[in-house]
Structure 1
Amino acid sequence: MGWFDYFFRPPSKDKFARLMLAEIAKSKLEGPLTYDAGQFLLLRKDGGFINLANVYQEYCQVSRGERAAIMQRFIRGSLASKTFELPEDFEDVHPDLLPVIRSRFQIEAVRLQARLKGSDKVNIPQQLIGDHLALSLVYDLPHAMRSIGQQDLDDWNVTFYEAVEAARHNLEQMNNISVASLDDRVFATATGDNYDASRLLLVDVIRTFPVRGLPVAIVPNRDTLLVAGQDDHEGLQLLATLAEEAYQKPRPISGVMLTLVDDEWQSWLPEPSSPAYNRLHELKLRSIGGEYNDQKDLLEQLHSARGEDVFVSSFSGVQDSQTGNTSSYCIWPRDVPTLLPETEQVYFMGGDPKQPQLLAQAPWDRVQQVVGHLLQAQDCYPPRYLVSDFPSEKELSKLGKTS
């Protein structure tokens, strides 16, 4: 690293938080805040918090000359929403209501962080899009954006469905969608207004794209929607390249592919024989694995605060040295209450805790068939299952005993 890079490289998380606190104090949009270094949050006195992860990532990826603008935009957009009240009548809100597509874990993480602070007040209604995405609503003004909660809908006496239809109509009427075609195989929206991912909802527009086979799509970040066709192997490889790059940019959403069936988006992957399968499968695992790891950190903090002795098993990945294929696995230990993630393989471990022994291994579907009665589904996303007992010797044999 040269001296220029050393002096002008992005700040550490702690230094960034100090910079943010100083700028917020100047803005006078917030009262006194406390920095929680462990969770990378700014804590409000009322129990609320400000997550710095996304803005920090965006700040680090732009040039030095653009960083101040990133910070000021975040302060105006995220913090200024605290200074205005929503209109009392839905008719006044209607024109500025828009849909946002997020990873399901984004709001789940907010809920877990609130529970760590002793609050269960987070109630933001969502509509699932496939298995891993969700639609929610925002009130969008030029310099501020506020999420719409269930209490807001109750105050307006409207249902979530009615509000979604209004927001979808507003998105359709924006009429500024910018679509680029790459080799007439991949279609990318890059309008740059923070709502490109939301245009996944415009299925009538997407059906006009001349793709080969049923449309498939991915929303790697909030400013990118990529669409190709199920039957286009070259197009899927090109899409994989673009998605891998876009997922590394600020405001990532998901690395999971979807396909359009009738009017509904469903999670999808090409057949393993497809040249694009390995890359799209690995991107999916990277996306879901990142969510599981963040969830694990929050759950461990929550268990520690409550004095609960529960092992939170990791979502791990392994690559076959011969084929290059990546797969996911988790550990189910003997005699330890465990929260299992949903992985492609499960390893059953026993023996001396210091030198554990692999007793059996099986794919997830087989685990459900043989010992599904031991899995207690939890109310969370990504899904986890509490296991308090270990399979019997007979069940281990059915699963695939190794010794």
Structure 2
Amino acid sequence: MDGQSAVQHLIEGGHMGFFDTLFRRRPTPDQFAKLFVAAARKQGFEGDLTYKADEFRLLLGEGSFFNLHNAYHAYYNTRGAQQQRALQGFVSALASSKQSTPQQATVARPMLRAVIRSRTALEDVRLHHVRTEGDDSAFHPAYLPFGEDCVVLLALDHPDAISTLTNGPEAAWQLTFDQALAVAIDNLRDAPDDFAEIAAGVYRGAWADGYDISRALLPDMIERVPVRGRPVFMAPTRDVLLVAGDNDDVGLANMVELAHQALMQGRSVSAHMYHYEDRQPLRYVPSNPALAQRLAHLERLLDKSEYDAQKEALDHIHEEQGQDIFVANYNLFTSDEEPVMSFSLASWTRGVDTSLPKVDRLALVRPDAEDNIGEVRVVSWEQAAHLLQPLLAREKGYPARYRTQGFPEDAQIAQLDEVP
């Protein structure tokens, strides 16, 4: 792009996302899959395990599957005993898929727990339905939205594993989803407050029982953490709940760095900060400009990883269904001088049916154009989405994508401010 000499391309599209840069000389995904299956068999898993290399997942039979992406990241970003614990943790998660579900409400009620998961966890299941059944008409998850990027699901607490109930409570329990969720959240109170200060101004949940971030569903517990100001929390992974105070810039900055480190371990959930207002979790943006910039960069890093995985799945679906749709990359750029000065960009080319990720900037491409607008005009997403709204149709799924409905006229492009 012209005028972009101070900007370098940080991360190319690829199915493993931004975490690729964290590993050196690691075995291939296929080699890891063999290792994982061997560990599962050694631990006594006797069910079907069919490896699908193009999806990097294991098919378990009866339409269920187990993604290997997070296990791969976690295993090869740790060493020694931590590496083995990471592997065994994911093998245990696999084993939970075969745990029996009690049919008596009296048995199920004390086992119920609420779990917070990224919206991408549900999207993986939805896209699996699309790929195996042709559409997602049979996909009816039961969940409660949590903030912008997470959901709350029901789960059963087994002695050695957590079994997520994506479809909600069993009909035999005669409980609505809301009733079961109230029980599940109340059961989290069985463990007392347990936060430890791990950096200046930052407290981490120390339960280590698989439900650490679930305690974010208990506003009164969050309010009791002894931070400076009102509590602000992050749930970067399923096992890491961090809390700092909104009157403590050092604590908030430390929390962002710790969240970044946690995300490198896999099982990612969210890169956002949240706080409670009227007992509702709301997105929190730091008032300190430098800190807000660092947080935004972390959010883009996770967005990049999620969009890469989504693109890979959609490309497979379109190929199998004979659809000629270009799934645009979520490209991430950063400044040579200041890495957190990042922005995301996607390309929209005239004459190409495109699925666009939501990005900071759009490159509008008119092949062979020779007028004063130029062949490529880079514009802000915010302005383009407003002026070109009829040409962008929101698609189903998460993270957000928009299907192009044609291409803007030259006069419309001329109205858009060019971003340097």
Deviation of residue 63 (structure 1)? 4.0
Partner of 1:5: none
Alpha-carbon distance in structure 2 between the residues aligned to 1:291 and 1:329: 15
State the Cα deviation string for residues 133-155 of structure 1 (Å, max 9, x = none): 11111111112322113364434
Alpha-carbon distance in structure 1 between the residues aligned to 2:208 and 2:124: 26
Cα 1:67–1:232 shift into 2, 3 Å: closer
Deviation of residue 184 (structure 1)? 6.0
Q: Does 1:189 find its partner at 2:189?
A: no
Partner of 2:128: 113
Q: Given residue 325 of structure 2, which amino acid in structure 1 is its aligned partner?
A: V
3-state SS, counterpart of residue 42 of structure 1: strand
Cα 1:56–1:233 shift into 2, 3 Å: same
Alignment of 1:149-168 (within 5 A): 149-150=166-167, 152-168=169-185
Alpha-carbon distance in structure 1 between the residues aligned to 2:382 and 2:391: 14
Deviation of residue 374 (structure 1)? 1.1
Alpha-carbon distance in structure 2 between the residues aligned to 1:387 and 1:49: 32
Q: Does 1:383 find its partner at 2:400?
A: yes
- Can you give the 5+ residue segments of structure 2 that lack an aligned partner in the other structure? 1-24
Alpha-carbon distance in structure 1 between the residues aligned to 2:272 and 2:285: 8
Partner of 1:304: 319
Partner of 2:66: 50
Partner of 1:343: 359
Alpha-carbon distance in structure 1 between the residues aligned to 2:258 and 2:86: 24
Cα 1:223–1:396 shift into 2, 3 Å: same
Alpha-carbon distance in structure 1 between the residues aligned to 2:343 and 2:330: 10
Cα 1:297–1:235 shift into 2, 3 Å: same
3-state SS, counterpart of residue 390 of structure 1: coil
Q: Given residue 260 of structure 1, which amino acid in structure 2 is its aligned partner?
A: Y
Deviation of residue 233 (structure 1)? 1.8
State the Cα deviation string for residues 252-302 of structure 1 (Å, max 9, x = none): 22212223222111223224x533122211101111121111111111111
Q: Does 1:262 find its partner at 2:260?
A: no
Cα 1:25–1:259 shift into 2, 3 Å: closer
Comparing both chains, which one has the higher relative contact order based on Cα–Cα distances under 8 Å and sequence gaps of 6 or more? 2
Q: Which runs of 4+ in 1 moved over 6 A?
A: none
Partner of 1:92: 107
Deviation of residue 187 (structure 1)? 2.0
Deviation of residue 110 (structure 1)? 2.3
The worse-fitting range, judged by mean Cα deviation, of 148-157 and 371-380 is 148-157
TM-score (normalised: structure 1): 0.87
Deviation of residue 122 (structure 1)? 4.2
3-state SS, counterpart of residue 18 of structure 1: helix
Alignment of 1:21-32 (within 5 A): 21-25=37-41, 29-32=45-48
Cα 1:74–1:185 shift into 2, 3 Å: closer
3-state SS, counterpart of residue 253 of structure 1: coil
Cα 1:205–1:117 shift into 2, 3 Å: same
Deviation of residue 211 (structure 1)? 3.2
Contact 1:153 1:159 in 2 (8 A): no
3-state SS, counterpart of residue 117 of structure 1: helix
Partner of 2:3: none
Alpha-carbon distance in structure 2 between the residues aligned to 1:68 and 1:181: 26
Alignment of 1:2-401 (within 5 A): 11-25=27-41, 29-64=45-80, 71-72=87-88, 74-82=90-98, 84-118=99-133, 120=136, 121-150=138-167, 152-175=169-192, 177-182=193-198, 185-271=201-287, 273-321=288-336, 324=339, 325-352=341-368, 358-400=375-417
The worse-fitting range, judged by mean Cα deviation, of 279-288 and 259-268 is 259-268
Cα 1:206–1:69 shift into 2, 3 Å: closer
- In the alignment of these two chains, the number of paired residues is 389
Alpha-carbon distance in structure 1 between the residues aligned to 2:298 and 2:39: 36
3-state SS, counterpart of residue 49 of structure 1: strand
State the Cα deviation string for residues 333-389 of structure 1 (Å, max 9, x = none): 111111111112222111149xx9644333222122211111111111111111121
Cα 1:288–1:80 shift into 2, 3 Å: closer
Q: Given residue 267 of structure 2, which amino acid in structure 1 is its aligned partner?
A: R
Deviation of residue 64 (structure 1)? 4.5
Contact 2:74 2:264 in 1 (8 A): no
- Can you give the 5+ residue segments of structure 1 that lack an aligned partner in the other structure? 1-8
The worse-fitting range, judged by mean Cα deviation, of 29-38 and 391-400 is 29-38
Q: Given residue 295 of structure 1, which amino acid in structure 2 is its aligned partner?
A: Q
Contact 1:191 1:223 in 2 (8 A): no
Q: Given residue 149 of structure 1, which amino acid in structure 2 is its aligned partner?
A: T
Contact 1:292 1:382 in 2 (8 A): yes
3-state SS, counterpart of residue 289 of structure 2: coil
Contact 1:345 1:362 in 2 (8 A): yes
Deviation of residue 67 (structure 1)? 5.5
Cα 1:254–1:278 shift into 2, 3 Å: same
TM-score (normalised: structure 2): 0.84
3-state SS, counterpart of residue 275 of structure 1: helix
